[in-house]
Structure 1
Amino acid sequence: MPDVHPELHYQVGATPEGVEVPRCVVDPSCLETIEQQLPGHKATVPTGADPKWRFFWRLGPRPAQTNFAELNAEPVIPQGFPEWSEVMDDWGTKMLAAVSTVAEVVACGLGLPADAFTSRMQMGPHLLAPTGTDLGTYGALGSCYAGYHYDLNFLTIHGKSRFPGLAVWLQDGRRMPVSIPNGCLLIQAGKQIEWFTNGHVRAGMHEVVCTEATRAAVDRMAVEGRQLWRVSSTVFAHIASDVLLEPVGKFAQQGTESKYKPVLAGDFVQQELEAIRLKGTAPC
């Protein structure tokens, strides 16, 4: 608990279970979206805060000057882990490098300069975010570990979790369980790339729930005497806080009535954090 920092919107250090609230809990339009989803492909309706723990570790250099100091705070080092910084930086830097490569490929594929995104990612508040949920406590079929949501950042990357349960929605409305091959990483689009592309690239909707496959894995690992925490390793790659989010290149010429109005990335992130109860939340 000494590593929990609500005064920094939980953007460094630990976020306990029962803090982050899926948007659908507080946003009626999200519930309407679920209601309109295809039969057999509807999201689980979340009813409260997620039961996941998370640790946010700040990756890379911080800006010398910024209007968003709380989003660019010094990383938190928990006691009792002398190798913490080295291990987290080593793995997180590799994940962030993979995101940067993909960001360049995507920019070229969209007809933008190769550095259209990576130049705006420099000094961003990138976060390595190991995330865990105790399935020994929250192992009932249908339990919602991360309610139906999009990611507020630019691109998200993570590897295979210790238990299944992640599902994504395709643009045609189908819900698809995610299976990541060994040795591979998954990258999902966040809201910031949707902003830059005027909605051409949409932030991917997803959820993590306890499915039949999750239950089977829990039962198998329980018999084997193995740990029943669902652990995943994620990097949230961000656009720098003081950079303007707005449609760029050819996407800026697609009409003046775009809903993607110019906004500083830091202001956008704070608005999103407030919506999911990470900003303005009372200390645990």
Structure 2
Amino acid sequence: MTNIPSVDLADFLSDDPSRKQKFINEIGNAYEEIGFVALKNHFLSDELVDNLYGEVEKFFQLPTETKKGYEREEIGGQRGYVSFGKEHAKGKKEGDLKEFWHFGQEVAPDANIEEDYPENVIVKELPDFNKTGMEAYRMLEKTGIYVLRALALHIGIDEHYFDHWASNGNSILRPIHYPPITSEPDNAVRAGAHGDINLITLLMGASAPGLQVQRRDGEWLDAIAQEDELVINVGDMLQRHTNNKLRSTIHRVVNPPRELWHTSRYSIPFFLHPRSDMKLNCLDECIDENNPKQYDNITAGEFLHQRLVEIGLIKK
């Protein structure tokens, strides 16, 4: 395999049962093997993508002191700005060479969730920043729910099993800025090798290459998607819930060649999280004598808290 597989959501949305099953088979097999796909015909328009990148670039070009005024350390950076070098990969002490922003869930009035999510932070200097970010948030959430429906059918459970947990879930849209590299990095990369915490991650096309995925044999593979495709991967929560049937693959963002150190890189992943009270217990359909239960029972909220401590965003 020299690149991640490409799948077409239009197959799943069609009225043709054979096309729908083709999509289920393709994405299910890809997630068992490599944990990543490139997905075309999602719900994000080119115009919305362009508008969001424009707003994101304008935000990160603001003065550092202005950006730091939007930092919310008391909530572990779950909303608003997180400054350069603050986050690190699990097991590493070097901070990643990035700064980022968090848009979070704005709950429907009838959601009936057990927790209160932090409010989004409003950027006064950019009147369209928050509106554009939340429009993209909704389209990515919608795309993610359809991907989870296909995976539910692949696993052998009800197609709409994930709908309740993912709708009004604790998902995060994270615009990231990797600034130009100005001096030799001390064992630091733009994003250290890691697995994502959540159910699935949907990544809008980055402004420059750098994302790499680790194959089963340990080799690193450049994750390359077309401009109109999203890169979507399995997170640790879904791997745990499916008892390792679906793979949360280790990935990283490497530094560019020295001749490109002067360039910025922008990337916008959407981390689809469930509601915090979702039980991540291994599904019965994914347990058998050849694959006994691999994990203790835990809720999504408990698992998220553990990982935020491990990556340095919150204290114990």
Aligned to 1:199: 244
Give the SS at the match of 1:241.
Answer: coil
Classify 1:254/1:165 alpha carbon distance in 2 versus 1 (closer, same or farther; 3 Å): same
- In the superposition, the TM-score normalised over structure 1's length comes to 0.79
Classify 1:251/1:257 alpha carbon distance in 2 versus 1 (closer, same or farther; 3 Å): closer
1:248 to 266, 277, 283: 283
Aligned residue runs from structure 1 range 94-243, under 5 A? 94-137=139-182, 144-212=189-257, 215=258, 218=260, 228-243=263-278
User: Structure 1, residues 81-127: CA drift from partner, whole Å, max 9, x if none?
Assistant: 11123211111211121111111111111212112223321221111
1:16 to 83, 92, 99: 83
1:78 to 111, 123, 126: 123
Give the SS at the match of 1:231.
Answer: strand
Distance (Å, rounded) in 2 between the aligned partners of 1:256 and 1:188: 22
Q: Does 1:54 align with 2:83?
A: no
User: Structure 1, residues 116-172: CA drift from partner, whole Å, max 9, x if none?
Assistant: 223321221111110011124368698500001000011001122111111001233
Q: Which residue identity does 2:89 align to in structure 1?
A: P
* 2:91–2:310 Cα contact (<8 Å) kept: no
Structure 1 gaps, min length 5? 26-46, 223-227
Distance (Å, rounded) in 2 between the aligned partners of 1:139 and 1:179: 27
- Percent identity between matched residues is 23
User: Structure 1, residues 201-226: CA drift from partner, whole Å, max 9, x if none?
Assistant: 121210111144xx55x37xx6xxxx
Distance (Å, rounded) in 2 between the aligned partners of 1:90 and 1:139: 38
Distance (Å, rounded) in 2 between the aligned partners of 1:165 and 1:256: 35
Distance (Å, rounded) in 1 between the aligned partners of 2:293 and 2:183: 42
Classify 1:142/1:21 alpha carbon distance in 2 versus 1 (closer, same or farther; 3 Å): closer
Q: Does 1:265 align with 2:300?
A: yes
* 1:152–1:272 Cα contact (<8 Å) kept: yes
Distance (Å, rounded) in 1 between the aligned partners of 2:165 and 2:183: 39
Q: Which residue identity does 1:264 align to in structure 2?
A: T
* 2:101–2:174 Cα contact (<8 Å) kept: yes
* 1:142–1:211 Cα contact (<8 Å) kept: no
Aligned to 2:114: 66
Instruction: Choose 54-63 or 181-190, whichever is displaced more.
Output: 54-63
RMSD: 2.4
Q: Which residue identity does 1:16 align to in structure 2?
A: S
* 1:162–1:232 Cα contact (<8 Å) kept: yes
Q: Which residue identity does 2:216 align to in structure 1?
A: Q
Aligned to 2:73: 6
* 2:96–2:188 Cα contact (<8 Å) kept: no
* 1:240–1:265 Cα contact (<8 Å) kept: yes
| Paired residue total | 247
Structure 2 gaps, min length 5? 1-67
Distance (Å, rounded) in 2 between the aligned partners of 1:138 and 1:59: 37
- In the superposition, the TM-score normalised over structure 2's length comes to 0.72
Distance (Å, rounded) in 1 between the aligned partners of 2:291 and 2:154: 24
Distance (Å, rounded) in 2 between the aligned partners of 1:4 and 1:21: 17
Q: Which residue identity does 1:115 align to in structure 2?
A: H
